[in-house]
A and B are shown apart, each in its own frame.
Chain A
């Protein structure tokens, strides 16, 4: 199967984007943070719009956790 999920570096300024992600959670309770993440994921998966890519990303996320 050809991988359709891009796992190569794909951001011009990755530090800036990462910082924005973290800052978005500043001053939020754990619950609020979780809700923010949920909204963010839903916005992004709609933007991606490619079912195969999303399924692959879900699998990749599931299989890279150290605790599993």
Chain B
């Protein structure tokens, strides 16, 4: 089954908009545009906070095609907050180890561990097809009474000249208008909303093409990310092998800028690549084929008055670092608590500016890492190739060169240390996350049972207190004794003000209630700054 050439994973039901049968319509506080993982996650965050949620999507189905398959520890922590983390980890393929091969040698020149800090609830990475993630998010949304997903409702026009935004929406039953205070644009790299606003990206486009072949076969191989430079089956270029659930494997081959896309995905042209990588005897079925090029760039700003962008609609990176969905999810985790407070009247609108600052900073970090990886994987000059090859040559013999091998620096948290809503340290602390850092996880004990720190944090803003003395505060407190990995990772007799997105807003040793309230006011833009 397919729609306009897009394969369908699961058909959803289009329904006629009530606006088409009614003359007056109520204005919505916000509308989510887009039904990819980012739009759906944003919708679910807002729904869980009790808001009435409307999602508009041009599709009336969940698309097939594995697409984004790697979800990082931080993304899994976000899925835990959304209540679908267990489903994703149970279905997904857990992996922590990546290996890099060069030339004909069967031994890796370099290998890395994606979960350098052990004893955290979630693994370094889980691989799972994007349609499962979308399906689980939709299931969670459909189970809520305050959510409406309008499948097959395409935004075709946008007017932001008034005191609110007016959307024009096209459906098979005709067009209708909808008014809203905020448009949350999560409509992907080709964002309609971005085009309607006349906005564009700034950054680099890379001239290279890659062929994705997701194929199904049964072979016992470890759940590791294998990356090749100059393998015998793709001389002078690169290749990647990665496991997904259901015996599906992601094979990715660099095929060069001049490659003929139509030809590349033909079965007979694909076979030599696949057999070269997996052996002549391999029996496989094609599951999803795609040729892609990529860019590393972002919008100058993500917040444009009543229109706010997140995910691929706001920023794009090469796929080598798994930094697409893994950076879009922190976007909406960040945006949702701020928008929630603003809509409730508990914080001024200016709080939304901190979303722009923090997440454009995050995007810059991702773009930087992604660009560096791309320059290593597809060198742009003879000299660049020379140095790349020199690194690979040295890496097989000398330890120092191994970390230089860059087959993609995989998604890691992007802290924002100079956020306008963070309270800087007033003294030096020997360890622990700094204001702007994401909280590390640790095993803890609660009511005599084993638990994890991150899942035990109260909803909303809270205080994480590690110490014997009691901490008095109006905010909910998670108090833990000074022992074990918690004390090692957070320090002893420390108090952390933790934001709803698990980011440290401030930290102290024995804070006064006044200090805590000042930091809270700053973190919610109520300090008049």
Contact = CB atoms under 8 A, between A and B. Distances in A.
Interface of A: 34-35, 38-39, 41-43, 46
Given A38-B389, A43-B400, 9 more contacts: A34-B383, A35-B389, A39-B393, A39-B394, A42-B390, A42-B391, A42-B401, A46-B400, A46-B401
Contacts of B383: 34, 38
Nearest to B382: A34
- Chain B interface mostly: helix
Nearest to A43: B394
A35 B400 contact: no
Nearest to B390: A38
18 contacts: A34-B383, A35-B386, A35-B390, A38-B386, A38-B387, A38-B389, A38-B390, A39-B390, A39-B393, A39-B394, A41-B390, A42-B387, A42-B390, A42-B391, A42-B394, A42-B401, A42-B404, A46-B401
Contacts of B404: 42
B103 to A, nearest CB: 14
A34 B386 contact: yes
The listed residue with most B CB atoms (<10 A of its CB), out of A34, A39, A41, A43, is A39
Size category, B interface: 10 to 19
Contacts of B391: 42
A34 B394 CA distance: 15
Nearest to A31: B386
- Chain A interface mostly: helix
B44 to A, nearest CB: 43
B425 to A, nearest CB: 24
Contacts of B400: 43, 46
Contacts of A38: 383, 386-387, 389-390
A41 B400 CA distance: 13
Contacts of A39: 390, 393-394
Contacts of B389: 35, 38
Nearest to A47: B400
B434 to A, nearest CB: 21
A32 B398 CA distance: 20
A39 B390 CA distance: 5
A41 B387 CA distance: 9
A43 to B, nearest CB: 7
Interface in B348-393: 383, 386-387, 389-391, 393
